[in-house]
Amino acid sequence: MAPSEDPSQPDRHRSRFTRHLARTAALCLAVATVAATTAAAADAAPAPDGDHGHGGGAPGLGANVTIFDPSMPVSQIQATLDAAHAAQVDDEMGTNRHAYLFKPGVYGTAEQPLQIKVGYYTEIAGLGASPNDVVINGKVEVYNRCLADGGTSNCLALVNFWRTLSNLSINVNANNLLNTVNFASIDTNVNSLTFGQVLAVNGRRTVRVNLRFRF
């Protein structure tokens, strides 16, 4: 005779399968809840430091990296760079490092040029594919560090390093550069009391120079 089967055995199999299915569903729900909570926290967290020059889309390059956008007012960019120079101009042995990066575009105008002074351990660079992508209308200067008399004497030209400028173009416009007075009507009468003197001047010559430097 074949052994008789326990009629309760199929019920036990179904019960075990149901419990296993319930545990799997609970685990999936817990994972989904954790993922949703993490995403919400990431959305609520502040953007990392880095894009201090522009309000959105910080790339997380660190607190000492500032990115400028052509849409920003020249006065705002100028104030940021002036403050950076004031902090770094005498910081020859300091540990601070700063980078100021320019997105592709044109910065400054003939009426309001952007004038950059570069201090120690400061990088000025364009973010374009070539130096032509970032154009600065103005100038970039590195002054001697002057140690005496309120920064007017004992100037050390040998410490103008430890700073970089790269991947941008600088437009320099100069009106009447090195122009001199246009003398006229010099008295050539030897019998005159004004002999040899300049008695008049002509109108000033107009000299306009436009230079572009690429780094």
- pLDDT of 68-112, one tens digit each? 999 999 999 999 999 999 999 888 888 999 999 999 999 999 889
What distances in angstroms separate CA 91 from CA 7, 128, 131, 134, one per listed residue? 89, 30, 29, 28
Query: If you write DSSP's letter for every residue of 171-195 in order, what string do you get?
Result: EEEEESTT----EEEE---TTSTTT
Q: What is the pLDDT of residues 100-128, one digit of tens each?
A: 999 999 999 988 999 998 989 999 999 99
CA 112, CA 215: separation in Å to the nearest integer? Answer: 22
